[in-house]
Protein backbone atom coordinates (compact mmCIF):
# COMPACT_ATOMS: atom_id res chain seq x y z
CA UNK A 1 0.00 0.00 0.00
CA UNK A 2 1.20 3.49 -0.88
CA UNK A 3 2.07 5.83 1.99
CA UNK A 4 2.05 9.59 1.47
CA UNK A 5 3.89 12.28 3.38
CA UNK A 6 2.59 15.79 2.88
CA UNK A 7 3.40 19.39 3.75
CA UNK A 8 0.40 21.69 4.20
CA UNK A 9 0.32 25.42 4.90
CA UNK A 10 -2.50 27.64 6.13
CA UNK A 11 -2.93 30.48 3.64
CA UNK A 12 -4.16 33.05 6.19
CA UNK A 13 -1.74 32.40 9.06
CA UNK A 14 1.20 30.71 7.33
CA UNK A 15 1.26 27.85 9.84
CA UNK A 16 2.76 24.63 8.43
CA UNK A 17 1.93 21.00 9.10
CA UNK A 18 3.82 17.84 8.13
CA UNK A 19 1.97 14.54 8.21
CA UNK A 20 1.31 11.09 6.81
CA UNK A 21 -1.72 9.44 5.24
CA UNK A 22 -2.66 6.45 3.11
CA UNK A 23 -5.63 8.26 1.55
CA UNK A 24 -5.64 11.15 -0.93
CA UNK A 25 -3.05 13.57 0.55
CA UNK A 26 -4.63 16.55 -1.20
CA UNK A 27 -8.05 16.01 0.38
CA UNK A 28 -6.81 14.75 3.76
CA UNK A 29 -6.98 17.54 6.37
CA UNK A 30 -4.48 16.14 8.87
CA UNK A 31 -4.99 14.66 12.34
CA UNK A 32 -2.75 16.83 14.53
CA UNK A 33 -4.38 18.15 17.72
CA UNK A 34 -2.89 21.66 17.49
CA UNK A 35 -3.33 21.72 13.71
CA UNK A 36 -7.04 20.89 13.92
CA UNK A 37 -7.59 23.45 16.68
CA UNK A 38 -5.97 26.00 14.37
CA UNK A 39 -8.29 25.00 11.51
CA UNK A 40 -11.36 25.32 13.72
CA UNK A 41 -10.29 28.80 14.74
CA UNK A 42 -9.12 30.15 11.36
CA UNK A 43 -11.03 27.98 8.89
CA UNK A 44 -9.81 25.43 6.38
CA UNK A 45 -7.99 27.75 3.99
CA UNK A 46 -5.06 25.43 3.29
CA UNK A 47 -2.71 24.63 0.41
CA UNK A 48 -0.85 21.36 -0.08
CA UNK A 49 2.72 22.52 -0.62
CA UNK A 50 4.30 19.17 -1.46
CA UNK A 51 3.54 15.45 -1.42
CA UNK A 52 5.96 12.50 -1.26
CA UNK A 53 4.95 8.96 -2.22
CA UNK A 54 6.46 5.78 -0.74
CA UNK A 55 5.86 2.06 -1.18
CA UNK A 56 8.54 1.18 1.38
CA UNK A 57 7.77 2.00 5.02
CA UNK A 58 11.41 2.08 6.08
CA UNK A 59 12.25 4.69 3.45
CA UNK A 60 9.13 6.61 4.38
CA UNK A 61 10.06 6.60 8.06
CA UNK A 62 13.65 7.59 7.37
CA UNK A 63 12.56 10.52 5.20
CA UNK A 64 9.88 11.62 7.71
CA UNK A 65 12.30 11.71 10.62
CA UNK A 66 14.98 13.53 8.59
CA UNK A 67 12.42 16.11 7.44
CA UNK A 68 11.17 16.56 11.02
CA UNK A 69 14.69 17.14 12.28
CA UNK A 70 15.78 19.38 9.39
CA UNK A 71 12.80 21.74 9.76
CA UNK A 72 12.61 21.42 13.56
CA UNK A 73 8.84 20.93 13.25
CA UNK A 74 8.25 20.32 16.97
CA UNK A 75 10.05 23.33 18.43
CA UNK A 76 9.48 25.79 15.59
CA UNK A 77 6.47 28.11 15.95
CA UNK A 78 6.08 27.96 12.17
CA UNK A 79 4.93 24.34 12.42
CA UNK A 80 1.85 22.85 14.13
CA UNK A 81 3.41 19.45 14.81
CA UNK A 82 3.63 18.38 18.45
CA UNK A 83 5.83 15.35 17.70
CA UNK A 84 8.30 14.33 15.01
CA UNK A 85 6.55 12.52 12.17
CA UNK A 86 7.78 8.90 11.92
CA UNK A 87 5.76 7.73 8.90
CA UNK A 88 4.08 4.83 10.73
CA UNK A 89 0.44 4.23 11.68
CA UNK A 90 -0.98 4.06 15.20
CA UNK A 91 0.67 4.54 18.56
CA UNK A 92 0.29 7.25 21.15
CA UNK A 93 2.34 10.08 19.76
CA UNK A 94 1.84 12.14 22.89
CA UNK A 95 4.46 10.07 24.70
CA UNK A 96 7.11 12.10 22.88
CA UNK A 97 5.70 15.42 24.08
CA UNK A 98 7.03 17.53 26.89
CA UNK A 99 4.86 16.82 30.00
CA UNK A 100 3.92 20.50 30.40
CA UNK A 101 2.98 20.81 26.73
CA UNK A 102 0.94 17.58 26.92
CA UNK A 103 -0.90 18.85 30.02
CA UNK A 104 -1.80 22.06 28.19
CA UNK A 105 -3.09 20.11 25.17
CA UNK A 106 -5.16 17.80 27.40
CA UNK A 107 -6.60 20.82 29.21
CA UNK A 108 -7.59 22.48 25.93
CA UNK A 109 -9.23 19.26 24.72
CA UNK A 110 -11.16 18.92 27.99
CA UNK A 111 -12.34 22.55 27.88
CA UNK A 112 -13.41 22.19 24.25
CA UNK A 113 -15.41 19.03 24.99
CA UNK A 114 -17.11 20.74 27.95
CA UNK A 115 -17.99 23.79 25.85
CA UNK A 116 -19.47 21.55 23.14
CA UNK A 117 -21.57 19.71 25.75
CA UNK A 118 -22.68 22.96 27.40
CA UNK A 119 -23.65 24.57 24.08
CA UNK A 120 -25.50 21.45 22.95
CA UNK A 121 -27.38 21.23 26.27
CA UNK A 122 -28.42 24.88 26.06
CA UNK A 123 -29.51 24.43 22.46
CA UNK A 124 -31.78 21.51 23.42
CA UNK A 125 -33.31 23.52 26.26
CA UNK A 126 -33.88 26.49 23.95
CA UNK A 127 -35.67 24.29 21.41
CA UNK A 128 -37.93 22.78 24.08
CA UNK A 129 -38.74 26.22 25.48
CA UNK A 130 -39.56 27.55 22.01
CA UNK A 131 -41.89 24.61 21.36
CA UNK A 132 -43.72 25.22 24.65
CA UNK A 133 -44.16 28.92 23.94
CA UNK A 134 -45.30 28.23 20.37
CA UNK A 135 -48.25 26.20 21.70
CA UNK A 136 -49.39 28.93 24.07
CA UNK A 137 -52.20 31.35 23.30
CA UNK A 138 -50.99 34.93 22.55
CA UNK A 139 -53.15 36.30 25.35
CA UNK A 140 -51.53 33.91 27.82
CA UNK A 141 -48.04 34.97 26.65
CA UNK A 142 -49.00 38.64 27.05
CA UNK A 143 -50.29 37.96 30.54
CA UNK A 144 -47.06 36.16 31.49
CA UNK A 145 -44.92 39.08 30.28
CA UNK A 146 -47.14 41.51 32.17
CA UNK A 147 -46.82 39.45 35.35
CA UNK A 148 -43.04 39.20 35.02
CA UNK A 149 -42.81 42.95 34.47
CA UNK A 150 -44.86 43.71 37.57
CA UNK A 151 -43.23 41.15 39.86
CA UNK A 152 -39.57 41.42 38.86
CA UNK A 153 -38.63 44.33 36.63
CA UNK A 154 -40.35 46.96 38.76
CA UNK A 155 -38.95 45.70 42.05
CA UNK A 156 -35.80 46.92 43.76
CA UNK A 157 -32.98 44.43 44.50
CA UNK A 158 -34.05 44.43 48.15
CA UNK A 159 -37.65 43.60 47.23
CA UNK A 160 -36.52 40.79 44.92
CA UNK A 161 -34.30 39.39 47.69
CA UNK A 162 -37.22 39.50 50.13
CA UNK A 163 -39.48 37.71 47.65
CA UNK A 164 -36.87 35.00 47.18
CA UNK A 165 -36.48 34.61 50.96
CA UNK A 166 -40.23 34.17 51.44
CA UNK A 167 -40.38 31.66 48.58
CA UNK A 168 -37.62 29.58 50.16
CA UNK A 169 -39.36 29.67 53.56
CA UNK A 170 -42.58 28.47 51.96
CA UNK A 171 -40.81 25.65 50.13
CA UNK A 172 -39.05 24.61 53.35
CA UNK A 173 -42.43 24.12 55.08
CA UNK A 174 -43.77 21.88 52.31
CA UNK A 175 -43.72 18.12 52.93
CA UNK A 176 -41.12 16.37 50.83
CA UNK A 177 -42.28 14.29 47.86
CA UNK A 178 -40.70 10.87 47.45
CA UNK A 179 -40.60 9.23 44.03
CA UNK A 180 -42.13 5.76 44.39
CA UNK A 181 -39.95 4.45 41.55
CA UNK A 182 -36.41 5.54 42.50
CA UNK A 183 -36.75 7.03 45.98
CA UNK A 184 -35.67 10.55 45.01
CA UNK A 185 -36.75 13.17 47.56
CA UNK A 186 -37.66 16.72 46.55
CA UNK A 187 -39.52 19.73 47.95
CA UNK A 188 -39.85 21.29 44.52
CA UNK A 189 -43.47 20.19 44.18
CA UNK A 190 -44.19 21.57 40.73
CA UNK A 191 -40.95 20.29 39.17
CA UNK A 192 -41.28 16.88 40.83
CA UNK A 193 -44.85 16.37 39.67
CA UNK A 194 -44.44 17.91 36.24
CA UNK A 195 -41.13 16.38 35.17
CA UNK A 196 -39.79 13.61 37.35
CA UNK A 197 -42.68 11.35 38.39
CA UNK A 198 -43.89 10.69 34.85
CA UNK A 199 -40.41 10.47 33.33
CA UNK A 200 -38.51 8.56 36.00
CA UNK A 201 -36.25 6.03 34.27
CA UNK A 202 -37.08 3.42 36.92
CA UNK A 203 -40.85 3.74 36.35
CA UNK A 204 -41.04 0.98 33.72
CA UNK A 205 -38.89 -1.32 35.86
CA UNK A 206 -41.13 -0.87 38.87
CA UNK A 207 -44.25 -1.62 36.84
Query: Between 73 and 52, where is the model more confident?
Result: 52
Is 154 among the domain residues? Answer: no
Q: Which of 4-18, 22-36, 76-90 has the highest mean pLDDT?
A: 4-18
Mean pLDDT computed over 3-7: 94
Determine phi and psi for 107, rounding to 5 degrees.
-65, -45
Q: Which of 166, 158, 22 is nearest to 88 (CA)?
A: 22
Query: Could you say which of 79, 96, 113 is where a domain stops?
Result: 96
Pairing of strands 46-54, 3-10: antiparallel
* 87 vs 4: CA distance, rounded Å: 9
Q: Three-state DSSP class for 47?
A: strand
* Residue 186, in any domain of the structure: yes
Is 142 a member of any domain? no
Helix (H) or strand (E) segment spanning residue 33: helix 33-42
What distances in angstroms separate CA 162 from CA 144, 156, 165, 167, one per listed residue?
Answer: 21, 10, 5, 9
Q: Residue 47: name the closest of 101, 95, 9, 87 by CA.
A: 9
pLDDT digits (tens, 9 = 90+) for 101-110: 555 555 655 6
Q: Which domain holds residue 65?
A: 3-96
Q: What is the pLDDT of residues 132-147, one digit of tens each?
A: 667 777 787 677 666 6
Q: For the residues 23-50, what does the mean pLDDT come to?
A: 90
Q: Using an 8 Å Cβ cutoff, are 191 and 174 in contact?
A: no
Q: CA nearest 16: which of 67, 78, 74?
A: 78
Is there a domain that residue 131 lies in? no
In-domain check, residue 41: yes
Count of beta carbons in the 10 Å neighbourhood of residue 39: 20
SS3 180: coil
pTM of this structure: 0.48
Cα–Cα distance for residue pair 204/207, rounded to 1 Å: 5
Overall domain count for the chain: 2
- Asked whether residue 53 is domain-assigned, the answer is yes
Amino acid sequence: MITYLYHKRHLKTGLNYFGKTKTDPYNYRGSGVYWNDHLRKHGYDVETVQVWEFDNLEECSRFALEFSKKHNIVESKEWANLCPENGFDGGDKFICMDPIKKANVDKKKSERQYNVWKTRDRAVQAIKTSEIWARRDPEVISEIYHKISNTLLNKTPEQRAETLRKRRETEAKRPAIVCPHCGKVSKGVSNMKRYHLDKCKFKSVAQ
